[in-house]
Structure formats: structure tokens, C-alpha cells
Amino acid sequence: ALLTACFLQTRIPHRFTGKTPYELWKGYKPSLKYLKVWGCLAKVMLPDPKKRKIGFKTSDCLFIGYAENSAAYRFLVLQSDVLSCNTIVETKNVDFLENVFPLKVESKRDILRK
């Protein structure tokens, strides 16, 4: 979460200069179209050596941030019959479900309303 916060902080405009730290460093505005909701569910495509003819082609993962040295995303594997659970995977081949949060805990108000 801390790495993602730092990543996003460099893409927020500074109030005095009106430019982002990224823009001051690189000389051009950053693209924000690849930003995703932190903590959402993602269906990560399995790498070719792990794919099977019969069975699931994706694994359920939790989006935890952005890769440092590439244009990929980082995920925590939640459920998979091929990949080890609770491992971190970096990939670009993914479908995001940005409205689903697998680790969300219901508040007491929500529980009482039911």
C-alpha cells in the first residue's frame, strides 16, 4: 500500500507549481488511464507454462499496486489451483473487477441493517 501511495503521490499536481513531480522530472504529463482501484479483485491470466487444456485459465487475485521496473501490475494470489496462494505476481494480462473487494469487512451498521 505504501509503494502505491508513493506512486500516486508523484502524479498529483503540486499546489505551488501546478505540475506533478513526475512532470517536472520527465518533462511531460503522466498518463493516468492505467490507474486502477487498489484492493479490487482481478482475474489474472495464467502464464503459458501454467495453462491447461481443461480447467481455469485465470486465477483470483487482489490488486496491490504497480510494478516498479515495468508497465505491469502487482497482485496477491488469493485462489488458484496452479499458482501458490499468498504469492505476489506481476503481469499485464488481467481483467479487473473494480467494484468487487474480496477482503472488505462489513461494518457493524451493515450487519445490523440485515
Distance between CA 89 and CA 83 in Å, rounded? 9
| Residue 53 domain boundaries | 36-100
Do 96 and 41 belong to one domain? yes
- Write out pLDDT tens, residues 5-38: 888 887 888 888 888 888 888 888 878 788 899 9
Do 43 and 18 belong to one domain? no
- Write out pLDDT tens, residues 92-112: 999 999 999 998 887 766 666
For residue 3, what pLDDT band results from cuts at 50, 70 and 90?
Answer: confident
At residue 111, the pLDDT reads 63
Do 75 and 94 belong to one domain? yes
pTM for the structure as a whole:
0.76
Distance between CA 5 and CA 38 in Å, rounded? 10
Do 7 and 60 belong to one domain? no
- Write out pLDDT tens, residues 49-76: 666 667 678 889 999 999 988 889 999 9
